[in-house]
Chain A
């Protein structure tokens, strides 16, 4: 079987698996966030944190919940790393430096999982499992909660109430992420992913010499790493590491996991707003971009010129031989179009244009299908913008799902789309202008620039994948990327919730033949175009100087 055909078959299998899970999971999530019953374990948690899960929150209260919880998370993670040296089960690792601890805390609380450390050489069991893995769950649950609040904004009328943040957070964790992770972890263990609390092993190598490998609760962390679109690997090599991702099946399964919730949330959205077709339109938009990017990636990676590439059947540098180009491309596109950032190949080693696709994928705002929750709300914001322009073109005050997109709504949406470009472009430009940050580059020319552009793109968009090659463990990068991650996560949430509150207060406008249909292929196509053009235009100059310059060099 040719590698291209293998890739296509894997993609088809993946799509089939996602399609099978789409309905039950989407409907389940809709029930979870609409139900008024509490599980016993949830009641204990509410009692423990002193929250009343039954009060409806308006925008300010909901936002306070999100921000307060996340602030506590960052602080807790920071302190945990800072006292690691005196904790048991730390495998002898010392405490983490302040700037790296800040970076890591920000990274995991924002669902980014950018890692400026080497997991197996810095973090012990307590920090990995008690700190980072916990954040893998709750940061994902926060993302879904905010998305659900926005969906409620569309679904509800004449109220400012968006639900209860604590209930959404706890339910998302207990009823969605935990059960899925348990199942996924078992499958992963069956595939050969390790799950233990072993210490450091000395392993002999074929070529002589030795290597130190440590064990850990890898399968459990791997499961939520993908399901929660976190991406922070137990090991530095992430999903390229055989302990995390031993074979072709586990590889495909991991891609399935990281796409599972983001895609299924479109069904949840359709259910909750009372029109499945609206959910399908969003799904179609996401899927079109996702499949399109994978095909482009295959094209750049398989068809690259040069004798070495042709002998290897494509751009094999930096890719695992057990996955090949087909599967690696699916993984790298899926991870950068979601906010996962797990990698099973090295994006830096992709062809110039291939690396550019990874960059552009993140720059789209990670909305196809995007992170858990963040993908849906990011896409809905783009839909609001597209509806605004298209709505004018049909001669009415634009409306989406029966809600008018007026001055207030467009203001919040416009602020949302300003945030990540500002962070990425300003910080990249600063890093290039200042004398020292450039020292972290390990390549020169366009590729060196891509490393820095990639780092900030990944941080500000909460992706977490790295264009390997950049030495990011410097005070400058730890601090600026840390800030980019925090602002890139929570500022958008402020505007998403503001939009949600504003929508929820409106009374609905009934649809007529004069209303723009947002559940039709035409609209999905328009949305794809709007996303590509608006983002493309924003980043075109920067991309031209990085991946395009590299990729188009003959």
Chain B
């Protein structure tokens, strides 16, 4: 008995990505709460990054961060003054902790970069010098050249086992390609000439068949090169919000510089003579060092969080824009619904039962590693309780794996030949072997193949993904409007839109319609995000504020978008938005924390400086710090340690929950504003207690 399980849109199945759309978090992260915010922090990273941190104390590097540059100058000054008065332990202690402040700041950045470096090394390995088999212009002869000598327009041949030497489009043939070097996903993908699955990436490996690739990118500018630059942070530029925040921090630094620099004449008049060491200590405590130290680490970590989710942002600007997005355009298929690629139901045809079909379908799909194949197995298991059989478990079986050419998979066992595949292929296969095709239900007639007298059918229908309605509700609370894009007729579209809970839909959408929709939203001041993969998506991807191209898409789409999703999972757009928001929130929260900290530092330092001349000011010493020296030193130590303490938060990002702006603000103001006011009172007091225990000090 041969079973044919057809798939309504089976033509698609030959060229689908390797990742099943239902896999929300392909890197193994769990969906749901805390889906943004993962990213482990290993204290060992601090140690490993230390050499980098020391290298970063180069003033030419530090000048880009005005706040930390001031600390660097302060450290140099106090050290010089300590050399002039070497017997003064206080000067040395302050100098040491100021240097530590500088190093801690650089350490934060180095740790953030370090995580990207590991990834870049993996990528470099994939980029080992390849040898290209270049075809001559006439297309006849083949010559071996180093991959670096390829020029745009060259055509190269790649066969099973070859590494593709550069980015390009397949112009001839079909092949399965292992893209794990960039996507981290081990299952191969199909690449074929023509259509939307023709793009191949340099550094990936052809597993089967033979293709001819037309090179579209110069060596050194390939996708993998850009990726290395991105994850290493070499291409990192300050984003608009980061620049704006830097301006604000610089102006606060100037204000405090003024407050401290103008103090000596005032203090002299009062009879208190302030040393340079004390003035520098006061200045460093006041300027926003916490956020100044962590600002670039936050930015790098934000990009890194995207990379960990297999999304490459071509610029930090795009990540920030993602946080501002107010309209999401989501393709129905693959994003909102499980799409045509998912087996949903077994529909038996005349004279057979669903259980029989499920059994045959499962058997024939075992050798099919495509999402459809796997979905059939999963469905059989879930719906009919069929345990998954393994290829090794059946003796004497001859497995026929799914390939791009045959577009079928199956098994020959016990004289029974079971096939499942694209309708056209199965029909041809049945006819070749003298079988006849049964005429069944009218609408399905041409899709049914007969084999052993038992025609069967797997029906596939749009199934709204689980949890999508909740997600859209969350998005609505975040103030983001969702628009479903579909080629379906308005009636079907409306039904699915209602089921999924999106705010709006665009039915029978053409690329032009999409473009018009984006422009209309933008004219109203909204920022639009969308995903796309086809060449005809390219203009819309370029027009959108955040355009996420699927890695399976065409080169044109990847060029046009400002992000590439290596997993080609359109649902990820939602996560991208959350990461963008989280990035901004982390910056804002730490800025608030940093400024709020200053209040306590004043209460530590001002009485220490002036209580000797104006005893009444000792009233301000609310922490009852043990001595003036200890008070100042404690503030400086706290100021340095808080940087290290907050490195994990800077790298991980402040926890983000999709709630309204009001709730977010209330929560973050409470934690980082009020917390920022209170924390240093406690911290400085504890450090003071410890310092006062040191004999001869305190």
Q: A residues bordering B, Cβ < 8 Å?
A: 385, 388-397, 402, 405-407, 409-411, 414-415, 417-418, 421-422, 425-426, 428-430, 432-433, 438, 446, 449, 507-510, 512-517, 520, 522-523, 526, 529, 533-534, 536-542, 544-545, 548-554
Contact of A541 with B266 at beta-carbon distance under 8 Å, contacts A393-B592, A395-B664, A407-B247 already known: yes
Q: Is the CB of A537 within 8 A of B256?
A: yes
Q: Is the CB of B673 within 8 A of A529?
A: yes
Interface membership of chain B positions 440-483, coded 1 if the CB is closer than 8 angstroms to chain A and 0 otherwise = 00000000000000000000000000000000000011111100
Chain B: minimal CB distance from A528 (Å): 12
Partner of B668, one of A393, A405, A428, A541: A393
A314 to B263, CA, bound (A): 33
Contact of A397 with B595 at beta-carbon distance under 8 Å, contacts A513-B477, A545-B267, A548-B620 already known: no
Max chain A Cβ within 10 angstroms of own Cβ: one of B266, B282, B656: B266
B31: Cβ under 8 A from any A Cβ: no
Q: Which residue of A lies closest to B660 (CB)?
A: A513
Contact of A516 with B661 at beta-carbon distance under 8 Å, contacts A533-B595, A552-B617 already known: yes
Interface set, chain B 244-285, CB cutoff 8 A to A: 244-245, 247-248, 250-252, 254-256, 258-270, 282
A396 contacts which chain B residues (CB < 8 A)?
A: 323-324, 581, 584, 661
Q: Is the CB of A541 within 8 A of B260?
A: yes
Q: Is the CB of A510 within 8 A of B525?
A: yes
B617 contacts which chain A residues (CB < 8 A)?
A: 544, 548-549, 552
Q: Is the CB of B244 within 8 A of A405?
A: yes
Q: Is the CB of B255 within 8 A of A538?
A: yes
B415: Cβ under 8 A from any A Cβ: no
Q: Is the CB of A537 within 8 A of B598?
A: yes
Q: Which residue of A lies closest to B525 (CB)?
A: A509
Contact of A394 with B661 at beta-carbon distance under 8 Å, contacts A432-B268, A449-B266 already known: yes
Contact of A553 with B478 at beta-carbon distance under 8 Å, contacts A391-B588, A514-B660 already known: no
A442 to B347, CA, bound (A): 102
B599: Cβ under 8 A from any A Cβ: yes
A552 to B620, CA, bound (A): 9
A510 contacts which chain B residues (CB < 8 A)?
A: 326, 524-526
Q: Is the CB of B479 within 8 A of A393?
A: no
B647: Cβ under 8 A from any A Cβ: no
A391 to B669, CA, bound (A): 11
Q: Which residue of B lies closest to A510 (CB)?
A: B525
Stretch binding the partner chain, chosen from B43-51, B224-232, B548-556, B608-616:
B608-616
Q: Is the CB of B662 within 8 A of A393?
A: no
Partner of A541, one of B259, B481, B581: B259
Q: Is the CB of A507 within 8 A of B476?
A: no
Contact of A508 with B525 at beta-carbon distance under 8 Å, contacts A385-B248, A393-B589, A529-B673 already known: yes
B323 contacts which chain A residues (CB < 8 A)?
A: 395-397
Partner of A533, one of B259, B477, B599, B669: B599
Sample of 5 A–B contacts (CB below 8 Å): A393-B589, A406-B241, A432-B268, A526-B669, A537-B259
B247 contacts which chain A residues (CB < 8 A)?
A: 407, 410-411, 414
A446 contacts which chain B residues (CB < 8 A)?
A: 270, 614
B164: Cβ under 8 A from any A Cβ: no
Partner of A406, one of B240, B480, B661: B240
Max chain B Cβ within 10 angstroms of own Cβ: one of A393, A411, A522, A544: A393
A39 to B664, CA, bound (A): 50
B582: Cβ under 8 A from any A Cβ: yes
A427 to B378, CA, bound (A): 79
A281 to B668, CA, bound (A): 21
A480 to B372, CA, bound (A): 82
A551 contacts which chain B residues (CB < 8 A)?
A: 616
A270 to B664, CA, bound (A): 26
A414 to B255, CA, bound (A): 10
A392 to B653, CA, bound (A): 13
B614 contacts which chain A residues (CB < 8 A)?
A: 446, 544-545, 549, 552-553
Chain A: minimal CB distance from B657 (Å): 10
B489: Cβ under 8 A from any A Cβ: no
A553 contacts which chain B residues (CB < 8 A)?
A: 614-616
Q: Is the CB of B656 within 8 A of A542?
A: no
B163: Cβ under 8 A from any A Cβ: no
A342 to B587, CA, bound (A): 43
A433 to B261, CA, bound (A): 12
Chain A: minimal CB distance from B523 (Å): 8
Q: Which residue of A lies closest to B674 (CB)?
A: A529
Q: Is the CB of A552 within 8 A of B241?
A: no
Q: Is the CB of A432 within 8 A of B266?
A: yes
B269 contacts which chain A residues (CB < 8 A)?
A: 432, 438, 449, 545
Q: Is the CB of A542 within 8 A of B616?
A: no
Contact of A522 with B258 at beta-carbon distance under 8 Å, contacts A389-B592, A554-B616 already known: no
Q: Is the CB of A392 within 8 A of B255?
A: no
Q: Is the CB of B270 within 8 A of A545?
A: yes
B324 contacts which chain A residues (CB < 8 A)?
A: 396-397
B591: Cβ under 8 A from any A Cβ: yes
Interface set, chain B 648-690, CB cutoff 8 A to A: 656, 660-662, 664-666, 668-669, 672-673
Contact of A406 with B255 at beta-carbon distance under 8 Å, contacts A393-B672, A549-B617 already known: no
Chain A: minimal CB distance from B299 (Å): 13
Chain A: minimal CB distance from B266 (Å): 5
B429: Cβ under 8 A from any A Cβ: no
